């Protein structure tokens, strides 16, 4: 892990969605290590195990960690998670929206209509719904930070529906920042590039089968590396660090911005 800033989130209540694994879990671990009362939200039951491990690891830092299960693709699921988080701590200082990820990898003409819908539901609506659910509370307390996780894949091959969803996340960030600023609410985003991560315990979608599907996926890998000036994938820590920075008071004069974290690929 990159060097942490002890106490940077001391006393803060931070909700991290998509936190059972991948970037979301790395972010939750980072803010927990920096003293946050961290609420990990995911639809996978393993989020509870992940939260228990964080609570044990970072107890000395003064924070706590709790895992909640919710399907954030619906407003009811998102609102239920936010309501439960408020019941735990009475406030939410930071919401980090990390749910998303392309399900299929193929040229757009090969996507079935229902697959397009599922991609949008996976990578746009969880951010839209959780922002809507938390906003009245943050307006009421006249403070708060929302960090959305978009993607530089808005300019990428074989992921048009995912690109459209993440383009929507960037638009949410820009537009909601305008509405949030008068209430002391910052809304920012990162746009990760390709990121190395351990094998997922819960898969996003079917693995490529057959030579054609494998070739389509390899095109994504090749384009991702070629578009990066550093010619490599990033690490989970390299994604978690910028997200934690934007969520912290160190970024108090930043809102409406999308920070590309992709080795020089701006998307």
**Residues taking part in catalysis:** 162
Question: CB–CB of 35/63 below 8 Å?
Answer: yes
* Closest to 180 (Cα-Cα) out of 216, 207, 148, 152: 148
- In whole angstroms, give the CA distance from residue 50 to residue 198: 14
DSSP state of 234: B
- In whole angstroms, give the CA distance from residue 226 to residue 153: 13
| Owner of token pair 């974290």 | 261
* Closest to 250 (Cα-Cα) out of 258, 242, 261: 242
H-only helix segments in 90-150: 113-123, 125-141
Instruction: Kindly state the tokens that stand for 12.
Output: 């803060």
Question: CB–CB of 66/39 below 8 Å?
Answer: yes
- Bridge partner list, 110: none
Q: How far is CA 265 from CA 151, 153, 201, 223, in A?
A: 10, 10, 28, 11
């Amino acid at each position: 892990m990159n060097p942490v800033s002890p106490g940077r989130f001391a006393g803060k209540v931070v909700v991290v969605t998509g936190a059972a694994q991948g970037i979301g879990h790395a972010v939750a671990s980072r803010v927990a290590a920096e003293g946050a009362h961290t609420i990990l939200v995911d639809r996978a039951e393993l989020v509870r195990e992940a939260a228990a491990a964080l609570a044990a690891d970072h107890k000395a830092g003064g924070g706590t960690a709790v895992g909640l299960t919710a399907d954030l693709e619906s407003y009811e699921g998102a609102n239920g998670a936010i309501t439960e988080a408020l019941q735990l701590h009475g406030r939410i200082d930071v919401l980090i929206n990390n749910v998303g990820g392309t399900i299929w990898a193929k040229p757009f003409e090969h996507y079935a209509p229902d697959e397009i819908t599922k991609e949008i539901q996976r990578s746009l609506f969880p951010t839209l719904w959780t922002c809507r659910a938390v906003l009245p509370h943050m307006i009421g307390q006249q403070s708060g930070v929302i960090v959305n996780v978009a993607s530089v894949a808005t300019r990428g091959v074989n992921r048009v529906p995912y690109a459209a969803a993440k383009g929507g996340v960037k638009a949410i960030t820009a537009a909601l920042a305008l509405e949030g600023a008068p209430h002391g609410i910052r809304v920012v985003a990162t746009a990760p590039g390709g990121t190395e991560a351990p094998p997922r315990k819960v898969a996003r979608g079917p693995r490529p089968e057959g030579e054609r599907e494998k070739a389509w996926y390899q095109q994504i890998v090749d384009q991702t590396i070629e578009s990066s000036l550093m010619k490599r994938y990033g690490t989970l820590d390299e994604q978690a660090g910028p997200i934690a920075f934007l969520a912290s008071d160190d970024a108090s004069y930043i809102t409406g911005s999308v920070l590309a974290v992709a080795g020089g690929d701006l998307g």
